[in-house]
Amino acid sequence: MNILLIQYKMIGDVLTSTIIAEQLKIIYPDAQIHYLISKTALAVVEGNTAIDKFICVDNNEFDSWRGIITLARKLKKNNYSISIDAYGKNNSALLSRLVGAVQRIGYKKWFAPWTYTTAIKNSPDPAIYKTGLSLGSRMLLTTPLTNEVKWNLLPKIYLTDTEKLDGKKWLSENGLDLNLPITMVSALGSSKDKTLPLSYMAQIVDHLVQMTSSQMLFNYLPSQKDEAYKIYDACLPETQKHIFIKAITPSLRDYIKVLYHCTTVIGNEGGAINMGKALDISSFSIFSPWINKRSWNAGEDGKKHITVHLKEVKPELYGTKKASAFKKHAQELYQKFQPELMTDQLKTFVEENY
């Protein structure tokens, strides 16, 4: 039996949805699980033993109706018995329909009656998911297939022993001491409205170095180099001695190899934080003011994983509205999220993890 799982992007979502594949392998151990994702996200799921085949596509294949129709013709040859659309967009729903699986599962949306045979209401049980509702959302998609859902499944990143050694070698070659703490900083978010003001991030890095004397690595894309250096330049001279600003891995997979050896990962919530958690690394996540924290605060325990959100320290700014209602005001709200509002949580994190 062949099963198609669709989660085109983003990196954190692609990683999170692997728990669906894990559950499918428990239900159907002999099934072939095919995972359709963006080519750029392969690095975070490569080596996952629950996935038998990766279908890696690019924007040209997925972001137009013509591309979806062409892709569906190719995939239809696989004779899927089940398709699960975790992406839940118009294009993925159409693809699910055109591929023609016997059972097509997706979330209840306006297009669901025309595209899926089974539509699931996206309402995870808060009694089960006190943190990380995004995990519950994924597992709900498996409920039509079993009465024994493993609600405790967590995303994992798989590295070979050789890859782990590669990470060590890279760190040594770039001058880091593996016997001392190493902190990976998610210096910049995936967009401006998911990025703490650069001067504020510099102050967070200053505080962390003062408390831990940790070696600091910055995670940023080549297109974000100027912004990353602005954070570096805003740090205290003593802090700068601890930052290996030029040490940038050549690929996402290489980044994961290095992240595996870090003591903690801190900074803007997003893919870098999610990858750290999937490698079982302690995390300190700073949420954007407009993101609903409960969706992505998986594992938050006040010790190993700590998350901070403006709404928790200044609830009067939100009133009765959800955080998502303030996306257009993200930059204004970020200015009110001063580093001193995070100091106590950061101190607790350091005491628990360094």
Q: Going along the chain, which residue ranges are E strands?
A: 2-6, 32-38, 53-57, 82-85, 103-107, 118-120, 182-186, 215-219, 264-268, 282-286, 305-308
Among 3.40.50.150, 3.40.50.2000, 3.30.465.10, 3.40.710.10, name the CATH number for the domain at 162-353.
Answer: 3.40.50.2000
User: What residues does each domain of the chain span?
Assistant: 2-140, 162-353
251 contacts: CB under 8 Å, gap ≥ 6: 43
Q: How confident is the model at residue 184 (pLDDT cuts 50, 70, 90)?
A: very high
Q: What's the pTM value of the predicted model, to 2 decimals?
A: 0.94
Q: How confident is the model at residue 190 (pLDDT cuts 50, 70, 90)?
A: confident
Would you state the pLDDT for residue 284? Answer: 98
Q: What is the 3-state secondary structure (H, E, C) of 98-122?
A: HHCCCEEEEECCCCHHHHCCEEECC
Would you state the pLDDT for residue 59? Answer: 85
One-letter identity of residue 221: L
CATH class for the region spanning 2-140? alpha beta
Q: What is the pLDDT of residues 297-315, one digit of tens each?
A: 999 999 999 999 999 999 9
Residue with tokens 């089974």: 118
Would you state the pLDDT for residue 9? Answer: 85
Q: Comparing 2-140 with 162-353, is the CATH topology the same?
A: yes
pLDDT score of 60 more than 90:
no
What average pLDDT is seen over the chain? Answer: 95
Would you state the pLDDT for residue 167? Answer: 98
Mean pLDDT of 85-104: 96
